[in-house]
Amino acid sequence: MSQPVERKAVLDALNAIRDPRSGRGLVEAGLVQGLVARDGRAGFMMEVEPGQAQLYAAVRDQAEAALKALPGVERAQVVLTADRAPAAGAPSSAHAHAQDHDHEPPVPPGTVRMRRGARLSADAQAQVMPPEQRPAPGLKPAHVAHVIAVASGKGGVGKSTVAVNLAAALAMLGKRTGLLDADVYGPSVPRMTGLDQEPGVTPERKLIPLRGWGLKVMSIGLLVDEASPMIWRGPMASSALNQMLNDVAWGSESEPLDILVVDMPPGTGDIQLTLAQRVALSGAVVVSTPQEVALIDARRAVAMFEKTHIPILGVVENMAFFTDPTTGAPIEIFGRGGARAVAETLKAPFLGEIPIEVALRQACDAGRPFVVDHPDSPAAQAFLAIAEAVAAQLDAGGELKPPPRIVFED
């Protein structure tokens, strides 16, 4: 077995290389992000300003050579991205860095720890398309007819549950469907689908999505450690999302994808904006529980898509009610009907309500889409109806209505 990679030696070696712009060492200049240094492998992500990629290509090569020269390092990989807006060497927020939990030296601000023994091997990473070769922004991934986002303002309302089951239901309806987990802050698709193997790489250097449940699946969770703290700076998260969209073989000439469902992180931050600005989204599905607080956030999510001119395909009310197992009567734990009312006020379609089902939660935890396992259950029927409504809107294509104009009184 190879000797361990000394994290401190890695940081020192990288800091001995000068940032050509600031003159400081790479670590000091904040250019070393997402450092992995273990299992014979060393690598990191270097984000620079758009237009600086060429200048930094030499630095990347230098850094890779320096890493390879270190004892214990068998594979070195430096990913250069030129997506970020702020100046190189000035990480935007000092607090946004992951803390070490295993007594390793503290990492500099802006650094994110990648998954322990990352699933994506260094070989695979080395083959992924370099950023400068990626398609121009504002495009749909190749051979994908529609990209739709499943979003919410508030966390924990069931976006991922809806995204997984909506995607599986679309596949059951005969649509060639992909599922992209864009939740860099807490990816859950690998757990909910049971798909968490290392993805392969095509001869064209694209990642091959995992397959299961009639779906093609890719998750940011396959690139980072589930157990490590998921604190990302906005630009890093945006870069990662770009890579998930553009460097994954979602569709091919012979096997195009009809619909790519994107499970979004909660809120209206960088990831959502990246998706809205970089990708031609066909529309968004907004998920809410019937609680007032979730409804307010749902309105905000709708407003964000409205601002970026993305049609709202509709609103889903999740956890709408619970059926009393003895009497069969619906118990409205969080209230009921609020999301329908919000949809009406916003003139967005109301897509349906999903009851609270214990078996649905269990299916999520067991890594099996509920809609596949229990297609006759009320929740699965609701997912299938939602999928039909979404597919019908997408099939109608050009008839997608722009979202309503909304004014908030804040």
Distance CA 45, CA 310 (A): 31
Q: Is 160 in the site for Mg ion (CB under 5 A)?
A: yes
Cβ distance to Mg ion smaller for residue 52 or 165: 165
Contacts of 82 (CB under 8 A, 6+ apart): 47, 48, 49, 50, 51, 52, 53, 56, 131, 132
Nearest approach, Cβ of residue 219 and Mg ion (Å)? 11
For ligand ATP, which stretch binds (CB under 6 A), given 84-92, 238-246, 334-342, 358-366?
Answer: 358-366
33 pairs with which residues across the strands?
Answer: 45
Give least dist CB 161 to Mg ion, A.
Answer: 8
CB 57 within 8 A of CB 80: yes
| Binding partner selected for residue 175 from ligand ATP, Mg ion, none, CB under the kind-specific 5 to 8 Å limit | none
Q: Does 220 bind ligand ATP (CB under 6 A)?
A: no
Cα 181 to Cα 164: distance, rounded to the nearest angstrom? 9
Of 292-331, binders to ligand ATP (CB under 6 A) are: 318-319
Q: Binding residue for ligand ATP (CB under 6 A) from 59, 207, 364, 391?
A: 364
Q: Which does 155 bind (CB under 5 to 8 A by kind): ligand ATP, Mg ion, none?
A: ligand ATP
Nearer to ligand ATP, 153 or 178 (CB): 153
Contact status, residue 266 vs residue 159, Cβ threshold 8 Å: yes
Q: Are 348 and 302 in contact (CB under 8 A)?
A: yes
Supply the minimum distance, in Å, between the C-beta of residue 95 and ligand ATP: 20
Residue 361 interacting with ligand ATP (CB under 6 A) = yes
Helix (H, G, I), strand (E, B) or coil at 51: coil
In this structure, what is the dihedral angle of CA atoms 299, 311, 266, 390, given to the nearest 10 degrees?
Answer: 110
Show the tokens assigned to 352: 């349906």
Question: Any contact of residue 353 with ligand ATP (CB under 6 A)?
Answer: no
The DSSP output letter for 109 is T
Contact residue for ligand ATP among 77, 152, 177, 291 (CB under 6 A)? 152
Q: How many residues bind ligand ATP (CB under 6 A)?
A: 20
Stretch that binds Mg ion, among 18-26, 179-187, 215-223, 270-278 (CB under 5 A): 179-187
User: Which is closer to ligand ATP, CB of 122 or CB of 356?
Assistant: 356
CA angle 285, 289, 295 (to 5 degrees): 80
Which of ligand ATP, Mg ion, none is residue 156 near (CB under 5 to 8 Å by kind)? ligand ATP
Whole-angstrom CA distances from 179 to 103, 290, 370 are 37, 26, 15
| Cα dihedral 211/212/214/215 (nearest 10) | -50
Selected from 348, 360, 389, 390, the binder of ligand ATP by CB under 6 A is 360
Give the tokens for residue 36: 């992995």
Answer yes or no whether residue 238 interacts with ligand ATP by CB under 6 A.
no
Residues binding ligand ATP (CB under 6 A): 152, 155-161, 183, 186, 188, 266, 318-319, 354, 356-357, 360-361, 364
Residues binding Mg ion (CB under 5 A): 159-160, 183, 188
